[in-house]
Amino acid sequence: MSNDASSSAPVFNRKNPLNARIARRELLTKGCDEKETWHFEIDLQGSGLEYLPGDSLAVFPHNDPALVEDVLGALHISGDEAVTDPNGVEMPIRKALTESCAITAPDKKFLNKLVEKAGDAAQDIAQLLDPDHKDALNHFLWGREIVDCLLQFPTLSWEPQEFIDILKKLNVRLYSIASSLAAKPNEVHLTVALVQYESHGRLRKGVCSSWLAQRTDEGTEVPCFISPGKAFRLPEPEEDVPVIMIGPGTGIAPFRAFLQHRKATQAKGKAWLFFGEIHADSCYFYGDEWDQYLEDGTLDRVTTAWSRDQAEKIYVQHKITEHGADIWNWLQQGAYVYVCGDAERMAPDVDKALHDAIAKYGNLGDEGAAEYVEQMRKDKRYRRDVY
Ligand SMILES: Cc1cc2nc3c(=O)[nH]c(=O)nc-3n(C[C@H](O)[C@H](O)[C@H](O)COP(=O)(O)OP(=O)(O)OC[C@H]3O[C@@H](n4cnc5c(N)ncnc54)[C@H](O)[C@@H]3O)c2cc1C
Ligand SMILES: NC(=O)c1ccc[n+]([C@@H]2O[C@H](COP(=O)([O-])OP(=O)(O)OC[C@H]3O[C@@H](n4cnc5c(N)ncnc54)[C@H](OP(=O)(O)O)[C@@H]3O)[C@@H](O)[C@H]2O)c1
């Protein structure tokens, strides 16, 4: 398949998603009580949906019914009241809150309406809406949901449609595709970490990750479409270009797609995978597959970093530092470097470790290393997909 979209393929997009069924779901973190990450296999049979390694799947989730009931309770309504949802479709408000509206994070439109309705009682919130108080507003919003704001003003009376009209549409979430059509012609695989945390005395759940992890089953329909990852492609033409893939946590997903594709297309270049998670025994996602790939030559090296198997943290960037000489050697052979996963902490730390290894083993100093990495970026040999 080329990088161009096939003209005869059906077009699935935000307005016309494919309703594809989950064929298989498997917990990847069996025996671990500190996190929950799931593998999904979604059936594409007969759909004509096509994708490339590096693409993501955009998924339309459903809200948690328990949260919907809490919101209905806070609004003092039954849930059967008819409303027009943000897509212009008439339905009971319970269904609109479950399937069409964003009901977790409050935004300015919602807060403005709250202030308008609550008047003096919402003076504190009114002040936060002043453009000069942006930091204070963000502080207020951190970990706070719409239901908390409703419960703060329990005597307010809401018309069902009035409430729906201030909510945004429930948006898609993107998941890096963890399979290749070259190996799995009628499937799309995902690796999804459940987002779950406590704030203001309530257990919160990420909308889409909790829907997929906790409220779907084999057979559940997932409305979805492809979000192309044009900047996160394998080298083209591949020939014998070496690849270094750094993907801790769910960052592993696109590299499973890359490796399936490279095996199916018999790519000749060397491949080195860096993976990090919390425990070796319960969180080595797809470890059996990597062992197999090491045996059949699809992978040349796998380097792991287990962060909670010892007193001090060991992360992928520590392994990059440890293997800096070999990384420099691979770079000299034209290796492409790919990074996927957490944007906030991991990606900058990995970036620094790469710079340091290049400065040290390339004898380039800090400035020279920065120039070298910049050139890699320009040559599209340093590609990141971080979130
Ligand atoms: C290109 C791309 C690829 C991606 N690939 C993957 C993938 O392969 N696998 C994967 O699992 N995810 C992936 N993601 C992330 C994914 O899209 C979702 O963002 C993630 O699943 C969370 O969505 P959610 O609906 O479950 O949570 P949401 O309902 O969107 O909630 C998440 C929000 O909750 C808040 N929050 C989170 N933790 C806390 C806390 N401790 N305290 C207070 N507030 C908090 C933050 O505001 C955060 O933005 C990818 C993202 C992008 C952009
Ligand atoms: N906003 C947040 O606070 C927060 C926190 C975690 C994850 N996330 C997001 O949650 C989603 C799923 O995360 P995930 O399950 O894929 O994995 P993850 O939480 O990123 O964890 C994967 C591995 O990376 C380690 N790690 C933590 N900090 C790191 C760093 N600075 N450099 C390198 N490795 C580091 C973790 O160790 P330890 O956990 O033992 O430190 C763990 O072993 C992602 O979207 C991620 O961005 C957000």
- CATH code at 375? 3.40.50.80
CB of 345 sitting under 6 A from ligand 2: yes
User: pTM above 0.75?
Assistant: yes
- Asked whether residue 117 carries a pLDDT value surpassing 80, the answer given is yes
14 in a structural domain:
no
Name residues contacting ligand 1 (CB within 6 A). 56, 104, 142-143, 173-176, 191-193, 195, 197, 199, 206-210, 250, 253, 385, 387
- The CATH number of whichever domain residue 105 belongs to comes to 1.20.990.10
Distance CA 113, CA 187 (A): 44
My answer on whether omega of the bond before 228 falls inside 30° of 0, hence cis, is no
Distance CA 258, CA 9 (A): 22
Encoded tokens for 367: 């400035």
- Partnered with residue 385 across adjacent β-strands are 340
The mean pLDDT value of the chain amounts to 96
4 in a structural domain:
no
- Asked whether residue 312 carries a pLDDT value surpassing 70, the answer given is yes
Question: Side-chain half-sphere of 30: how many Cα atoms within 13 Å?
Answer: 6
- Asked whether residue 1 carries a pLDDT value surpassing 60, the answer given is no
- Asked whether residue 5 carries a pLDDT value surpassing 90, the answer given is no
**Helices vs. strands in the chain: H and E counts, helices first:** 14, 15
Total of domains in the chain:
3
128 lies in the same domain as 269: no
380 lies in the same domain as 261: yes
313 in a structural domain:
yes
- Asked whether residue 329 carries a pLDDT value surpassing 80, the answer given is yes
- Asked whether residue 4 carries a pLDDT value surpassing 60, the answer given is no
Q: Output the CA 26–ligand 1 centroid distance in Å.
A: 20
pLDDT at 2: 40
Spatial contact of 59 and 191, defined as CB atoms under 8 Å apart: no
252 lies in the same domain as 375: yes
pLDDT tens track for 214-251: 999 999 999 999 999 999 999 988 778 999 999 999 99
156 lies in the same domain as 180: no
Work out which ligand 1 atom sits closest to the CA atom of 385.
1
| Domain, as residue range, for 54 | 29-60+171-227
Region 361-378 average pLDDT? 98
Spatial contact of 55 and 229, defined as CB atoms under 8 Å apart: yes
Q: Whose C-alpha lies nearest to ligand 2, atom 2?
A: 344
Contacts of 387 (CB under 8 A, 6+ apart): 174, 341, 342, 343
DSSP class of residue 184 equals: S
Closest among 363, 273, 366, 358 to 321, alpha carbons compared:
358
pLDDT at 9: 65
160 lies in the same domain as 307: no
pLDDT at 211: 98
Cα separations in angstroms, 58 against 75, 176, 180, 193, 228: 31, 9, 16, 15, 10
Distance CA 121, CA 126 (A): 10
Distance CA 33, CA 357 (A): 35
251 lies in the same domain as 367: yes
47 lies in the same domain as 180: yes
285 lies in the same domain as 372: yes
96 lies in the same domain as 201: no
- Asked whether residue 71 carries a pLDDT value surpassing 70, the answer given is yes
2 in a structural domain:
no
